[in-house]
Chain A
Amino acid sequence: MANLLKNRETQLAAVIVLMLVLIAFVNPDFIAPSNLLSVYTESSILIILALAQMLVVLTRCIDLSVAANVALTGMVVAMINSQYPELTLPLVIAAGVVLGTLLGMINGLMVWKLGIPAIVVTLGTMSIYRGIVFLISNGEWVNSHEMSLAFINTPRTEIFGVQGFAIISLLIIAAIYIFTEKRPLGREMYAAGNSPTAAFYTGIDVGRTQFWAFTISGMLSGLCGYLWISRYAVAYVDVALGFELQVVAACVIGGVSIMGGIGTVLGCVLGALFLGVINNALPVIGISPFWQMAISGSVIVIAVIANSRAERKVGRIILRKATLARG
């Protein structure tokens, strides 16, 4: 029990619950189950991208190009849909996912094969991918009436009152959980990030795990490209502008260590939900929109301080006395 209380995920969940209680004082409707569900639905894309980012960060890299990837794949699927409305939706989505995967692979290859630091690679591809959105669209928008109804409405379909967006994110959470807990590649990402040297000694190719982390990140970004466009029913160059920082922030708040090797699916999801609740609650409880940015900034700072205290390296315990005292 004491262990559970010390657990970072429990603490974060407690903070979120506390926050909801406080919000409920101002606006009781906010914690109505239907509204909480819609807050979750609204956070779906952030959750998926945060999980993708977590895999990359686990391997000691960072992917700043996710938002640009979302914009590019989103524009491409929107353009395909508006030009060929008769094309079946699964095919359109598949095109987005494949393109996103390829974009992720480009990042991954440069990190793996050329050994360029991930931050430099993705800083570059971030500009390039977003620039390509402009080139292919010629700066023009794809508007809702140019998209097919199936394209816009499929993720909105409700199953037992839950929207497709939420269901997809739940499936992705489950998939990433299985991947990180049950799949060798998932475990190797933890190992590679925790100690690249030890990983090498155990026969794990660190660069390869990084490549796959970027690939999965790209794949999920591609999926989110479609989700984003159908959610807001418009595609343009500045889609998801600056979203990469929110995604990284969600990971950081969720306890994913930027130094690699540490982070859980649950923590990451909670981190994204935390930001999701703040984003959705501030306008509702009537805090001036001008305060939003400062509040989320402070939250990030506080979260990293809290995490760093929790993570603080415990010295190698040599003394038996100390061992006993701790046990």
Chain B
Amino acid sequence: MALKKLLATAIVTATMTTAGIANAADTRVGLVVKALGIGFFEAAAEGAQEAAKELGDVEVIYTGPTTTTAEGQIEVINSLIAQKVDAIAVSANDQDALVPILKKAQQRGIKVMSWDSGVAPDGRQVHLNPSSNALIGEMNIKLASDAVKATGSDSGEIAILSATPTATNQNIWIEEMKKVLPNYAGLTLVDTVYGDDLADKSYREAVALMKNHPNLKAIVAPTTVGILAAAQAVQDEGKIGQVYVTGLGLPSELAGHVDSGAIKSFAIWNPIDLGYSATMISYNLVKGNASDSEVGMGRMGTAKLDADGSAAMAEPFIYDASNVHKFAEIF
């Protein structure tokens, strides 16, 4: 019965890879990400481990679905509930669809928070924004303005390349960007397109942006896949120096494009810090060390909660040719 053997082997292997389970830690935190295999979240998981080490009695279960779907996340959260973890910290693929399952988790006595990409207030106690949304929006536009200036003109057309049309945080940031846009007289937003966080689609959309808007000066992509594909597209179209790509991305992924000149500068908050903070907050929620207005984040200080229970971690950090290689080693 080869199949049974196979299953047995699979299960044994699986047990070994997650051998941590055996050391029954006092507090177990499920860190749920949008999908496994995204550099940003891998770095966040690293930060979470750092926090666990610091606290000593915490075990972090890093998990997530295969693709960025709400159904996949629900399945994963279901198994965390079954394991009776103490806290769940989730970066949501859908701010509404996760609410019912997270409510159920709370009913079973599990502390729930969201980080990075939020869940509607009904579904969680605390939401940790990597930074304030307004700040991120403004940062992106400022970067775009810098990029336009780098082309040698004071005014120019910019366009946004987003991830999926349904991504919560993307949409909030785009809204914030539009809010601050009037403050930058020289900038005109000509288009918003969606690359679905797929490299090929993002690439095509970026190419189309350049074709449709010959005067385009900057593409703002507040998503790591998008910014990568757009930079490649700019390079392939031979538009380096005429069009700059900017937005949010990881130094390790973008170092090459900064070198090539397709990207002048970009921003990101430190995902390691983000994972660390989320774990710290979860821990404090479990231990009851949180009030309605603030909760500690270890070395990151204290998070101030607003009426919705949202908090911002820190300001995004800007990377350019001067520092990108140093950070590329880290995340």
The reply, when asked whether chain A contacts chain B directly with Cβ atoms under 8 A, is yes
Collect the chain A residues with CB atoms within 8 Å of residue B127's CB: none
Asked whether A143 and B37 contact (CB < 8 A) given A232-B203, A232-B229, the answer is: no
Q: Which of B35, B211, B252 contacts A143 (CB 8 A)?
A: B252
Looking at A9-17, A206-214, A277-285, the stretch in contact with chain B turns out to be A277-285
Residue-by-residue, is B192-229 near A (CB-CB < 8 Å gives 1, otherwise 0)?
Answer: 01100011100111011101100000000000000011
Interchain CB contact under 8 A, B37 and A289: no
Restricting to B263-289, which residues have a CB under 8 Å from any CB of A? none
Looking at A57-65, A97-105, A132-140, A215-223, the stretch in contact with chain B turns out to be A132-140
Collect the chain B residues with CB atoms within 8 Å of residue A156's CB: 236
Interchain CB contact under 8 A, B67 and A241: yes
Residue-by-residue, is B239-254 near A (CB-CB < 8 Å gives 1, otherwise 0)?
Answer: 0000000000000111
Residue of chain B at shortest CB distance from A127 = B66
Helix, strand, loop or mixed for chain B's interface?
helix
Asked whether A289 and B205 contact (CB < 8 A) given A139-B37, A145-B255, the answer is: yes
Starting from the known contacts A144-B256, A238-B67, A240-B200, 5 additional A-B residue pairs (CB-CB under 8 Å) come to A139-B37, A140-B37, A143-B256, A232-B232, A237-B66
Q: What's the Cα separation between A10 and B200 when bound, in Å?
A: 30
Collect the chain B residues with CB atoms within 8 Å of residue A27's CB: 211-212
Interchain CB contact under 8 A, A284 and B255: no
Cβ-based interface call for B165 (8 A): yes
- Write the nearest CB–CB distance from A246 to chain B, whole angstroms: 10
Cβ-based interface call for A35 (8 A): yes
Collect the chain A residues with CB atoms within 8 Å of residue B328's CB: 145
Interchain CB contact under 8 A, B165 and A42: no
Q: What's the Cα separation between A120 and B35 when bound, in Å?
A: 27
Collect the chain B residues with CB atoms within 8 Å of residue A145's CB: 255-257, 259, 328
Asked whether A29 and B199 contact (CB < 8 A) given A289-B193, A289-B194, the answer is: no
Interchain CB contact under 8 A, B42 and A144: no
- Write the nearest CB–CB distance from B255 to chain A, whole angstroms: 5
Residue of chain A at shortest CB distance from B236 = A156
Collect the chain A residues with CB atoms within 8 Å of residue B232's CB: 144, 232-234
